[in-house]
Amino acid sequence: MSTTETPPVTTRPAQSPLVGMAWMLGSSSCFVMVQALVKHVGSGVPAAEAAFLRYILGLVFLIPMLGALRQARITRQLWALFTLRGLAHGVGVICWFYAMTRIPMAEVTAMNYMNPVYITIGAALVLGERLAWPRMTAIGVAVIGGFIILRPGFREIDLGHIAMIVTAMLFAVSYLIAGKASRDVSATVVVAMLSLMVPVAMAPVAIAVWVTPTLPQLGWLFLVAGFATMGHYTMTRAFAAAPMAVTQPVMFLQLVWSTAIGWAIFGEGVDAWVIIGGAIVLGAVTFITWREARKKRANAAR
């Protein structure tokens, strides 16, 4: 997630764990709906085209951000960052849409939990952040959870699994770039530029595989855009209302709901190993988040 300039402590709204958990519950529900709708559209629309249309249709939600975008001073360096982020995020979204047509919803959700782990590793490799042994241990535990989900050697690894690995890595790149860009412009501008650059990056691939979508398919994809936007909004409200270490565990419900919907509506099997692996990964991510929050509080108190 991108960050903005920290306001004075006296103006910061009081945090409430219960409110934060409620917002995160809403966010998880929205993202499960995104998954279900994309799964419903399925392979009827090529993954690249479906991802492209999701962003084109979602441009309507960009209207409230236009004022901040017009006032922003975007330097050449920021243009380069936004272009790189749009390319990375665009390819990641295409891979995610493709994975949704290949593997069960629960596996998509569980593998997506690895995203913060890749961000942590990327911050160490690219930004030079120090990895103390507790963080390294948590990363190792998360990797073990990832192997439990995939179980290479014990079952066939589908192209959808590979696509999800690529997705999580590219999203990590996207979020690291967002963190860097947010030092110079507001979070609103960062989000708006992503909404503009991603469809530009995806357009060539979408045109290459284009099939004319039906009106119902366009309607479903518009709902995808709406739920995705609401999911990001409610997640932001959750992080503002309570520490991430408090709200993060609520995301496990997304795995539970994905498993239930995949089984009840799409006839997907329930894989206990995926749930166990996802819980391990999320537990490790929660520990990393909690430790980082404690470290920031300690630094602020100095």
DSSP letter for each residue of 209-249? T--PPPHHHHHHHHHHHHHHHHHHHHHHHHHHHS-HHHHGG
Nearest partner of 266 among 52, 56, 35, 65, judged by Cα: 35
Q: What angle do CA 294, 300, 302 make, to 5 degrees?
A: 110
**pLDDT tier for residue 246 given thresholds of 50, 70 and 90:** confident
User: Rounded distance, CA 119 to CA 125, Å?
Assistant: 10
Task: Give domain limits for the chain.
Answer: 16-300
User: Rounded distance, CA 263 to CA 104, Å?
Assistant: 9
User: Rounded distance, CA 107 to CA 261, Å?
Assistant: 12
Task: Please give the structure tokens belonging to residue 225.
Answer: 């855009």
User: Rounded distance, CA 289 to CA 137, Å?
Assistant: 13
- The residues facing 160 across adjacent strands are none
Mean pLDDT: which of 42-56, 169-183, 185-199, 231-245 is highest?
A: 42-56
**pLDDT tier for residue 9 given thresholds of 50, 70 and 90:** very low
Q: What angle do CA 4, 65, 204 make, to 5 degrees?
A: 100
Asked whether residue 302 carries a pLDDT value surpassing 50, the answer given is: yes
pLDDT tens for 176-197 read 888 888 788 887 888 888 889 9
Q: Which residue has the tokens 């790149």?
A: 173
Q: How far apart are the first and last CA of the chain?
A: 26
* pLDDT number for residue 182: 79
Give the global pTM.
Answer: 0.83
254 Cβ neighbours under 8 A, 6+ residues apart:
28, 31, 32, 109
* pLDDT number for residue 98: 94
User: Rounded distance, CA 23 to CA 15, Å?
Assistant: 12
pLDDT tens for 252-265 read 888 999 999 999 99
Q: Residue 155: what are its φ and ψ, rounded to 5°?
A: -155, 165
